[in-house]
């Protein structure tokens, strides 16, 4: 499977150099990169498509600098690998706040680029299936299953209640359940799909999920409690 790369860079020479280095690295290491170039961070972020493995981000750009863009990126995608391409090394400390894995200082050569890319690729996830891509009004948001506390249906929309906030998607609870139920989620009624790992207690027909009280319907209580008991007795729990 190709490694998906976004280059956010308004400097044409730097952008072309990054693409050339990626192509050379791919040939030397028998890899395949699928690369998209964005000349401005707003084109990259609005709407954002959370299907990248690696983002190269320039810092000095007009209207929105790369550091501000990186903070916005982390609101949408906390896991994508981020590398700053800059001549401004004074941003190194702030880069830790947005989880930057490396800095490439302009003008950069291939050997420095390749060394850092090798280290970055070693840290990329080895498999898929631990994240959910949710299409919202601001673009796709990548949510880890562990961050989702419960999913609520309202009309034709789903609200994902997460440790990072709420995200709304036009979809059905049945579609979300098909993905999440095999990963430790269960329906406590027709409106809620609960992450069983976030359950803090059950009182009668009420389940406490990350401090919130959700109703358990009478028809679903038996199955819900069986799934909860099964999780608690499993090795992971």
Question: For position 220, which CATH number holds?
Answer: 2.40.50.1020
The per-residue pLDDT for 110 is 95
> CA angle at residue 53 from 69 to 67, to 5 degrees?
15
Q: Are residues 13 and 76 in the same domain?
A: yes
* Residue where a domain stops, chosen among 77, 102, 123: 123
**Does residue 205 belong to any structural domain of this protein?**
yes
Residue 225 lies in a domain: yes
Q: Is residue 182 part of a domain?
A: yes
Instruction: Give the pLDDT confidence score for residue 232 in this predicted structure.
Output: 62
Same domain, 164 and 116: no
- For strand 148-154 and strand 139-144, is the pairing parallel, antiparallel, or unpaired? unpaired
Q: Which two tokens stand for residue 117?
A: 């890319």
In a domain, 35, yes or no: yes
User: What is the three-class DSSP state of 224?
Assistant: helix
* Domain assignment present for 237: no
Q: Which of 81, 98, 123 is the last residue of a domain?
A: 123
Per residue in 85-105, is it b (16+ CB within 10 Å) or e — as a string? Answer: bbebeebeeebeebebebbbe
Are residue 56 and residue 146 in the same domain, yes or no?
Answer: no
Per-residue pLDDT, 157 = 94
Using 70 as the pLDDT threshold, list the residues of the chain that sit under it.
1, 88-97, 125-130, 232-237
Digit-coded pLDDT (tens) for 184-225: 899 999 999 999 999 999 999 999 998 999 999 999 999 999
Q: What is the pLDDT of residues 129-157, one digit of tens each?
A: 467 888 887 777 888 888 899 999 999 99
State the pLDDT at residue 37: 95
For the chain, the average pLDDT equals 87
36 and 114 co-located in one domain: yes
Domain that holds residue 166: 132-232
- Judgement on whether residues 110 and 177 belong to the same structural domain of the protein: no
Q: Can you give the pLDDT at residue 128? A: 47
Domain count, the chain: 2
Instruction: Please state the pTM of the whole predicted model.
Output: 0.64
Distance CA 182, CA 185 (A): 7
Residues 183 and 95 in one domain: no
Q: Which structure tokens are listed for 83?
A: 């590398």
């Amino acid at each position: 499977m190709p490694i998906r790369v976004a280059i956010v860079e308004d400097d044409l020479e730097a952008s072309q150099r990054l693409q050339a280095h990626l192509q050379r690295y791919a040939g030397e290491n028998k890899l395949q990169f699928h690369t998209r170039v964005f000349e401005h961070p707003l084109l990259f972020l609005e709407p954002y498509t959370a299907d990248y493995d690696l983002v190269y981000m320039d810092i000095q750009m007009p209207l929105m600098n790369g550091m501000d863009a990186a903070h916005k990126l982390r609101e949408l995608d906390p896991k994508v690998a981020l590398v700053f391409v800059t001549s401004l090394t004074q941003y190194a400390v702030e880069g830790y706040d947005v989880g930057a894995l490396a800095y490439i200082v302009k003008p950069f050569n291939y050997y420095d680029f390749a060394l850092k890319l090798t280290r970055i690729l070693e840290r990329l996830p080895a498999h898929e299936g631990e994240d959910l891509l949710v299409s919202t009004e601001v673009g796709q948001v990548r949510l880890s299953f562990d961050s989702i506390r419960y999913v609520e249906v309202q009309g034709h929309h789903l609200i994902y209640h997460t440790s990072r906030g709420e995200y709304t998607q036009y979809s059905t609870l049945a579609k979300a359940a098909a993905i999440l139920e095999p990963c430790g989620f269960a329906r406590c009624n027709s409106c809620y799909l609960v992450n069983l790992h976030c359950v803090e207690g059950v009182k009668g027909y009420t389940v406490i999920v990350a401090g919130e009280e959700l109703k358990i319907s009478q028809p679903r209580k038996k199955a819900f409690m069986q799934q909860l008991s099964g999780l608690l007795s499993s090795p992971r729990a």
